[in-house]
């Protein structure tokens, strides 16, 4: 399944651009969508990155920059752009992502003979602090999903319980959980869910009986008509449930359950992976369940679970006990 590209993205994110710049950006975003399978949110981020560069260059030139102005940027110019972004409070991680996207754009310009400029490749990307996932403890994760299931006849509480169980019980991203349709809903007896993740990559994830029961209960209580190909999870007024509502739910639970500030919907996905690893799951299996393209992405969870790995080492290695 390939990502779609809506050219209207450019209307909001590149409102002022010369025709040659607009044409080049549109062609590149279409390429990233159809050939590279980039998600819509990623395409929006790419367009914003280019908007930031064009805005900065317009201020420097005191006119709307054309494609030849982009091609004429040297390494010093890109460093000046990075400095300007720093002054606006852009963190290293965000700036590194921006520069990575711009590199992809300029590589494409060169490959397609649209314009030639490799100066950005001479610029060293900002160093990003090494971070590791911050999962909840098993007890806290269970408390989160149980908190949403207390009101048996409240359809919103039933909805919240079903969403949280998909995040923790199946390791879904919040966007993946909210993209589930009634036609594919993991109701009672449906133990596997087909998920389309980043880059249009499909995977199959198991669904626990408790999650199946929660989804079934939510569907029974939901006051809105659920079309087979429409959104499964609805907001209070019947529209598609917003990720922000789920984020606010977790924020409320932080106070009530004494959760750390790092508790977010995505932390439940981290918890899913970390708890599986602690229970002895194979890293390759976790990679498949999470939909990671590279094992190196999944390996970060081994840093979270160092204590278990050390215990296995001390138990298994013949010289670990000083024998």
Please write the tens of the pLDDT for every residue from 252-311: 888 888 888 888 999 999 999 989 888 888 888 888 899 888 887 787 777 666 655 565
Specify whether 218 is catalytic: no
41 as an active site residue: the answer is no
Whole-angstrom distance, CA of residue 143 vs CA of residue 260 = 13
Residue 150 annotated in active site:
no
pLDDT over 90, % of the chain: 40
34 is annotated as an active-site residue: no
Predicted local confidence at residue 104, as pLDDT: 92
Q: Which of 38, 85, 173, 275 is catalytic?
A: 173
Considering 51, 97, 270, 292, which one is annotated as catalytic? Answer: 292
What CATH number belongs to 9-122? 1.10.150.130
Residue 319 backbone dihedrals phi, psi, to 5 degrees: -105, 5
At residue 155, the pLDDT reads 92
User: How many other β-carbons are positioned within 10 Å of the β-carbon of residue 5?
Assistant: 17
CATH of domain 138-312: 1.10.443.10
- Known catalytic membership, residue 270: no
Q: Rounded to an integer, what distance in angstroms lies between the CA atom of residue 37 and that of residue 39?
A: 6
Q: Which residues of 19-56 are buried (b: 16+ CB within 10 A; e: fewer)?
A: eebbebbbebbebbbeeeebbeebbebbbbbbbbbbeb
CA atoms within 13 A on the CB side of 112: 14
- Catalytic one of 198, 203, 254, 308: 198
Stretch(es) of the chain classified as CATH 1.10.443.10: 138-312
pLDDT digits (tens, 9 = 90+) for 14-59: 666 788 888 898 899 988 888 887 777 788 889 889 999 999 999 9
Domain with CATH 1.10.150.130 in the chain: 9-122
């Amino acid at each position: 399944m390939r990502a779609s590209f809506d050219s209207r993205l450019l209307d909001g994110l590149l409102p002022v651009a010369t025709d040659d710049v607009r044409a080049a950006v549109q062609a590149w975003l279409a390429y990233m969508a159809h050939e590279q399978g980039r998600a819509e949110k990623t395409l929006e981020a790419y367009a914003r990155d280019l908007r930031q560069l064009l805005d900065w260059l317009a201020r420097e030139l005191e006119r709307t920059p054309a494609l030849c102005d982009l091609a004429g940027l040297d390494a010093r110019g890109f460093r000046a752009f990075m400095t300007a972004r720093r002054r606006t409070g852009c963190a290293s991680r965000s700036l590194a992502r921006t520069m990575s996207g711009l590199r992809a754009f300029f590589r494409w310009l060169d490959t397609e003979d649209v314009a030639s400029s490799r100066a950005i490749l001479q610029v060293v990307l900002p160093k990003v602090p090494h971070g590791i996932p911050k999962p909840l403890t098993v007890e806290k994760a269970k408390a989160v999903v149980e908190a949403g299931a207390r009101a048996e006849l409240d359809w919103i509480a039933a909805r919240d319980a079903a969403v949280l169980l998909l995040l923790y019980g199946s390791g879904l991203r919040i966007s993946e959980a909210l993209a589930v349709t009634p036609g594919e809903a993991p109701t009672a007896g449906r133990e596997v869910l087909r998920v389309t993740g980043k880059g249009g990559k499909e995977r199959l994830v198991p669904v626990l009986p408790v999650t199946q029961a929660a989804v079934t209960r939510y569907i029974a209580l939901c006051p809105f008509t659920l079309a087979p190909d429409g959104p499964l999870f609805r907001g209070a007024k019947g529209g598609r449930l917003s990720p922000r509502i789920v984020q606010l739910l977790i924020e409320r639970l932080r106070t009530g359950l004494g959760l750390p500030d790092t508790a977010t919907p995505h932390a439940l996905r981290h918890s899913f992976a970390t708890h599986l690893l602690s229970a002895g799951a194979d890293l390759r299996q976790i990679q498949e369940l999470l939909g990671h393209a590279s094992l190196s992405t999944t390996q970060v969870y081994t840093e979270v679970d160092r204590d278990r790995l050390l215990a296995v080492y001390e138990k298994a290695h013949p010289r670990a006990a000083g024998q």
